[in-house]
Amino acid sequence: MNIVVLMKHVVDTGAIRIDRTTRQPILRGSLTKISDYDKNAIEEAIRIKEKLGAKVTLLSVSPSEAALTSLREGVAMGADDAILISTGTEYLFDNYVIATAIVNAIKKFIGEYDLILAGEISEDLSQGYIPAVVATMLGIPFIGSVRKIEVLDKKVRVERRMEEYIETLESPIPVLLSVTREINKPRIPTTLQIKRVPLAKIRTYTLQDVGVSKDNVMTYLEKLEAEEMSKRKGVILSGSPDEIATKLLEYLKKEGVLE
Amino acid sequence: MRSLSVYVFTESPRMALHVSSPAVELASIFNERPGLIVPFEKKTEIDDLLKKKGWSEIVLLKGIKSDLSYDYAYALSQLMKEITPKILMIPATKEGKEIASITAALLNAIYASEVVKIFIENGSLKFIRPVLGGGILATYKVASKNLIIATYKPYLYPPAADTSYEPQIIEYEVKYEKPKEISNIVRIDKKPLEKTVDLKSADRIVAVGRGLAKKEDLNMIFELAKLLKAEVGCSRVISEDYGWLPVERQVGLSGVIVSPKLYIAVGISGQIQHVIGFKNSRIVVSINKDKDAPIHKYADYVIIDDLYKIVPALINKLKQNQ
């Protein structure tokens, strides 16, 4: 069984700094990591491998340098192979360009696959679109928001939680599934395990190698700007816990927000 | 049919109320009213309240073969090819987002996920959406004539004002074939979700975060919430990382967006993706012993102290006052 995991290397959104004058996020030099949701996808692929035997290939379309660290981490978790389609130093924002690069890389460098797994959304753009469009371009079914996967003979049975109900679906293989963070608890490889993964293990290609031009976009990112937050009162309450509790309840009563 | 510029689709008609005001606003850019598309099978859910929201027409879409996302997507893409609007809006429920993404993929449309605004500037269509965990807005310029499929987070907008305008109700039948591999997706089981809580409509919320040392300590949070007649919410780490509370209690960009009268953040650091979730609250209280925790910047009443001292003190006082 061949499993491909779509993995995105992202800026750690918890650590983004904002330039005070321009109100723009400072992305250069920011901490980066594997998008959390994709870690669950990698973990799930490895669990299937451990149970049924499979070859797990990671595929990422990301800026090169930092993404290598993430791909090595994924290999240290237990993936067999890793492919990076390098975008140079740039983060791509156009769905069409990213999806085409993924699809062409799968066709050209991977070939056969039974299962493609991805995180439900990426941590940086939170769209959840790439899985649907990659599946459609490949001509295979897509099922999103999966929290349980059972691999059966030539098909998968999956469970997912929608807005109002829980459902179980079956789909023939090959299929692309996007997974939620409920599905498992990803293992954490040690720094030593990550360092032991040779760089040569990661096959690196360019956008050109997969026949994609960055200019071929449907949307342009025009600007990124920090959202204005409305000012709050910021009244600091101090004293002993008892005094603080009393003061707080008085304030809340005055504000008319208590029952 | 009128071939309007802006349509809303939802498989769950009452959700249309929640996007009616941005729909009316967007259609007004083109000097039009928006259209609404719902499955014919949901006809009975189109009530007077919904009809009054200023729709130009309500299209009852016939010929949808099942309630799987792919059936809605194929039916909808067939319709889109025929009426060629500029923008299709879909409420961003889990179901809505999946239908939107598959439809966009089938039509090679521009997918604009959870947008906050679509507008025209210097003759170009642009849209704004939160990125990078929230708190940062990205403005995209559209560089193609293709259809835009935009999802809107529901519950953020009040329903559009009532009008006396009477929408035309139209039945429209589509014919589509799903490819073989897609038609082999089958539903084995479907059961209603037993929701324990609806944070969106809560008046008061006590939310807890990483500062909580162990799961058992949730008892004290629930006790405080009960005394305040509040619901319990949480930050992402408690639901997604620790699994101590179900995700329907998660407040934030990737969870629920809430707007209570009172929001008490207990042991929450204040990552922006969480802050986005409660920023519409009327009064916010922060309890965190770390004086540098970002949460304190977003609070009306700031308590820089140990939650393990403050929460019991609050419980005590509330019990005395009963």
Q: Identify the band that residue A229 occupies on the pLDDT scale cut at 50, 70 and 90.
A: confident
Q: Which of B149, B183, B217 is the last residue of a domain?
A: B183
Domain residues for the domain of A256 are 229-259
Is pLDDT above 80 for A65? Answer: no
Name every chain A residue with its beta carbon within 8 A of the beta carbon of B220.
none
Whether residues B146 and B247 fall in one domain: no
Expressed in percent and rounded to 5, the helix, strand and coil fractions of chain A are 35, 30, 35
For B151-162, the pLDDT digits (tens) are 998 878 889 999
Whether residues A55 and A152 fall in one domain: yes
The total of structural domains in chain B comes to 2
Whether residues A182 and A238 fall in one domain: no
Is pLDDT above 90 for A63? Answer: no
CA dist., res. A12 & res. A33, Å (int): 6
Is pLDDT above 90 for A13? Answer: no
Instruction: Indicate yes or no: CB of B193 within 8 angstroms of CB of A161.
Output: yes
Whether residues B274 and B316 fall in one domain: yes
Name every chain B residue with its beta carbon within 8 A of the beta carbon of A165.
190-193
Q: Is residue B192 part of a domain?
A: no
Q: Is residue B189 part of a domain?
A: no
For chain A, what is the mean pLDDT?
A: 93
CATH number of B218's domain? 3.40.50.1220
Instruction: Indicate yes or no: CB of B106 within 8 angstroms of CB of A136.
Output: yes
Q: Which of B183, B213, B234 is the last residue of a domain?
A: B183
- Note whether B221 and B240 are within 8 A (CB): no
CA dist., res. A202 & res. A82, Å (int): 5
- Would you call A25 an interface residue with chain B, using a CB distance cutoff of 8 Å? yes
- Substitution target in B99, B102, B122, B285 with the highest count of A β-carbons within 10 Å is B102
Question: What whole-number percentage of chain B has pLDDT above 90?
Answer: 86
Q: Is residue A222 part of a domain?
A: no
Sheet holding B136-142, edge to edge: A219-226, B136-142, B124-131, B117-121
Whether residues A252 and A128 fall in one domain: no
Are β-strands A219-226 and B136-142 bridged in parallel, bridged antiparallel, or unpaired? Answer: antiparallel
Name every chain A residue with its beta carbon within 8 A of the beta carbon of B95.
162-163
- For A44-65, the DSSP string reads HHHHHHHHH--EEEEEEEE-HH
Whether residues A202 and A247 fall in one domain: no
Q: What is the DSSP letter of B133?
A: T
Instruction: Indicate yes or no: CB of A169 within 8 angstroms of CB of B130.
Output: no
Cβ neighbours, 10 Å, residue A113: 19
Looking at the complex, report in whole angstroms how far the Cα of residue A77 sits from the nearest Cα belonging to chain B: 18
Cβ neighbours, 10 Å, residue B3: 10
Instruction: Return the closest-CA partner of residue B169 out of B42, B59, B49.
Output: B59
User: Strand, helix or coil at B320?
Assistant: helix
Structure tokens at B159: 């329903």
Structure tokens at A110: 């991977």
Whether residues A243 and A170 fall in one domain: no
Domain residues for the domain of B77 are 6-183
CA dist., res. A101 & res. A103, Å (int): 6
Instruction: Using the structure block, give the residue that is written with the tokens 């941590």.
Output: A123
Q: Identify the band that residue A91 occupies on the pLDDT scale cut at 50, 70 and 90.
A: confident
User: Strand, helix or coil at B239?
Assistant: helix
Q: Is residue B100 part of a domain?
A: yes
Structure tokens at A211: 């026949």
For B7-18, the pLDDT digits (tens) are 999 999 989 999
Q: What is the DSSP letter of B300?
A: S
Residue A185: what pLDDT? Answer: 93
Q: Identify the band that residue A89 occupies on the pLDDT scale cut at 50, 70 and 90.
A: confident
Whether residues B132 and B270 fall in one domain: no
What type of residue is A187?
Answer: R
Is pLDDT above 80 for A68? Answer: yes
- Substitution target in B94, B124, B248, B268 with the highest count of A β-carbons within 10 Å is B94
Instruction: Indicate yes or no: CB of A241 within 8 angstroms of CB of B284.
Output: no
User: Strand, helix or coil at A132?
Assistant: helix
With 0-12 CB in 10 A as exposed, 13-18 as middle and 19+ as buried, what is B194?
A: exposed
Is pLDDT above 80 for B1? Answer: no
The minimal CB distance from B142 to the residues A131, A171, A219 is found for A219
Q: What is the DSSP letter of A28?
A: T
Q: Which chain A residue lies closest to B246 (C-alpha atoms)?
A: A182
Q: What is the DSSP letter of A228?
A: P
Q: Which residue has the higher pLDDT, B1 or A45?
A: A45
- Would you call A91 an interface residue with chain B, using a CB distance cutoff of 8 Å? no
Whether residues A199 and A253 fall in one domain: no
First to last CA, chain A: 59
Instruction: Return the closest-CA partner of residue B254 out of B269, B268, B237, B266.
Output: B237
Instruction: Return the closest-CA partner of residue B157 out of B119, B195, B197, B200.
Output: B200
Whether residues A70 and A15 fall in one domain: yes
- For A199-214, the DSSP string reads GGGEEEEETGGGT--T
The segment with the largest mean pLDDT, out of A81-95, B59-73, B122-136, B243-257, is: B59-73
What type of residue is B52?
Answer: K
Name every chain B residue with its beta carbon within 8 A of the beta carbon of A132.
98, 101-102, 104-105
The minimal CB distance from B283 to the residues A96, A157, A255 is found for A255
Cβ neighbours, 10 Å, residue A29: 7
Q: Identify the band that residue A31 occupies on the pLDDT scale cut at 50, 70 and 90.
A: confident
Q: Is residue A92 part of a domain?
A: yes
Mean pLDDT within A192-204: 94
- Substitution target in A227, A242, A253, A255 with the highest count of B β-carbons within 10 Å is A227
Are β-strands B262-266 and B283-287 bridged in parallel, bridged antiparallel, or unpaired? Answer: parallel
Residue B252 to residues A64, A185, A235, B155, B236, Cα–Cα distance (Å)? 31, 21, 24, 14, 7
Looking at the complex, report in whole angstroms how far the Cα of residue A200 sits from the nearest Cα belonging to chain B: 31
Q: Identify the band that residue B247 occupies on the pLDDT scale cut at 50, 70 and 90.
A: confident
